[in-house]
A and B are shown apart, each in its own frame.
Chain A
Amino acid sequence: MSKAPQSLPLDVSTPSALAGYDGSLGYQGAYTSILHDIDDAQHALMTEWGWPPHYVDCRLTPGDTVVMAFLAPPGVTECNLHFLVTASVEIAATTSADATGTQVSRVSDDADSQEAAVVISTAGIVDGGAATTGRAVTVRSSVTWTAANVTLTVTLDSGSTGSVYGVMVEPIHEVR
């Protein structure tokens, strides 16, 4: 059995009826539906709805490396990375749980001007993917339901002509 992450908005519903618990039959009717809503809302808070992506600024010019930390959400083992970049860039990123890491690049004749910045991203979970596949980075080796500190290292190749202005870490909430 597996359970999908929840992304429904959290809305208050009001218990409309309560029934006693029968040791052999469990909860019945309306109260079962209330428990269903409660369970979904709890899971929404602990998965997709509760832990959205977060963008932070950084300023990398060719040859620069920045080390930053973030909180890996519960239940998440991999994260997509989105970079706000200009011109041509080759970016390598690793985490404290992923020494191989990932690489993403962009080729463009655009000027190295923030006005022309665009977002480039990793490509999600790629089974067996090498760094050059642009895969998502691993943030922990197995599923646990507590948040964990993760270090992210981003390097802009010295052969790039552009800059990296910021990084957004997007947790991938897989079906568990």
Chain B
Amino acid sequence: MTYAPNEPGSFNPGVKGNATAVGRAMTNHNEVYDAYSPLVAGGAAPAYTTSATYVTVYRVRIPANYDNQPLQMFVAYQSDAGETTTIRLSYDGGTDTATTTSSSTTTAVLSATPSGTAGATREATLEVKITNGAQATVLGCYCYVQGTAGTGVLDSGWAPTNAEFYTADAPVPSERAQRMVEGPVQIAQDRRAGLVTLLDDVQATSARARYYTTSSELVARFACPLSSQQSRRYYVMAYLDNDGTGTPSADINVGPWSVSHSGTGWHVDRIYAGAAGLTLGQVTLTQTGGGAGFLRTLQIVRAP
């Protein structure tokens, strides 16, 4: 079964939903849980390694997912001919791997089910290794959380309901009606839609990195679709790195809204932005104390 829209007007005031329409709305309650999987992050960011042990090439943050549903990552990658390239997705206790020996672009969908307790955000990493010192290449990825409706009340508050209300003269359990009213909101809160991803190879030095500086400069501009009809919160999540010395800091502007961060690692902020439509943003990176500073990941994710 898949989600199937009802005819418009099936439940307009004065229009009595028939058994088909009522049954479909109830079936859709579960189908939406299974089918709603907006992109959280993605990008076409070439990454390379010759390492025989796993090295991290991409870092992304996955907000919410209190239901611990599996993270799916679509990956395009390739290997030096005859050698074995292995990619591994890790996400809070869950892992999945795929391999190729082909020098042509190969795709795989990795699936990692987390086992930990959801915080505000959790990190997922893509690692890669290759045999005999050859070169493995990762061309890009995108990822999303894929739900499967289970039984009982889940940690997000969402709970399934059976298509059983339309039996003539059957009592209507108010709890099931409540589940259907709140269901779409609970799903939206647990699976956040990403709006912007700037992704770079975690291993890239200043000779190859997209976003780096040894002083202070604008390293990226981007377009952000703040298309909501009302003001709402957005997560701005950035991973800053250095080459072993110095301190990186970043000023991130999304239209008139701005956040600043200093130090290596993940930085997570929330901005409360208006209904601005398509908005240009930019990242200014500053490095103090010597060395080079890097922006490895920037994600902007809608927070219902």
Contact = CB atoms under 8 A, between A and B. Distances in A.
A170 B17 contact: no
Nearest to B15: A32
A172 to B, nearest CB: 13
B11 A39 contact: yes
Contacts of B38: 50-52, 71, 73
B181 interface: yes
Interface string B221-258: 11111011110100000000000000000000000000
Nearest to A71: B39
A49 B195 CA distance: 12
A145 B37 CA distance: 12
Chain B interface extent, by class: 35 or more
A70 B39 contact: yes
A142 interface: no
Contacts of A8: 229
Nearest to B179: A38
Interface stretch (A11-19, A87-95, A104-112, A129-137): A11-19
A42 to B, nearest CB: 5
B142 A57 contact: no
B52 interface: no
B35 A15 contact: no
B75 to A, nearest CB: 9
Nearest to B200: A57
A146 B286 CA distance: 43
- Which of A14, A23, A31, A68 has the largest number of chain B CB atoms within 10 A? A68
Contacts of B222: 55, 57, 84, 165-166
Interface residues of A, number: 74
Contacts of B220: 57, 114, 165
Contacts of A22: 168-169
Contact of A45 (B21, B45, B188, B224): B188
Interface string B291-304: 00000000000101
Contacts of A100: none
Contact of A56 (B6, B25, B43, B178): B43
A13 B5 CA distance: 21
A158 interface: no
B6 A54 contact: no
Given A2-B8, A18-B177, A67-B44, A27 B17 contact: yes
Interface in A64-82: 66-71, 73-75, 82
Contacts of A170: 225
B35 A145 contact: yes
B184 A28 contact: no
B36 interface: yes
B44 A35 contact: no
- Which of A26, A28, A170 has the largest number of chain B CB atoms within 10 A? A26
A46 B187 CA distance: 11
A117 interface: yes
A66 B38 CA distance: 23
B46 to A, nearest CB: 9
Contacts of B188: 10, 45, 49-50
A155 to B, nearest CB: 13
Contact of A54 (B7, B180, B194): B194
Contacts of A145: 2-5, 35
B17 A35 contact: yes
21 contacts: A2-B8, A3-B8, A8-B229, A10-B185, A10-B188, A10-B304, A14-B181, A15-B178, A15-B181, A27-B17, A38-B184, A41-B185, A52-B225, A52-B302, A54-B193, A55-B224, A67-B140, A71-B144, A149-B74, A168-B223, A168-B278
Interface of B: 2-19, 21-22, 25, 28-29, 32, 35-39, 42-45, 74, 76, 105, 107, 139-140, 142, 144, 165-172, 174, 177-178, 180-185, 187-188, 193-199, 210, 218, 220-225, 227-230, 232, 278, 280, 302, 304
Given A35-B17, A117-B221, 16 more contacts: A10-B184, A20-B170, A22-B168, A28-B16, A42-B28, A43-B5, A52-B38, A55-B196, A68-B43, A71-B142, A74-B3, A75-B5, A84-B222, A145-B35, A147-B35, A176-B5
Closest A-B pairs by Cβ, 6 of them: A26-B16, A23-B168, A36-B11, A41-B184, A68-B44, A53-B225
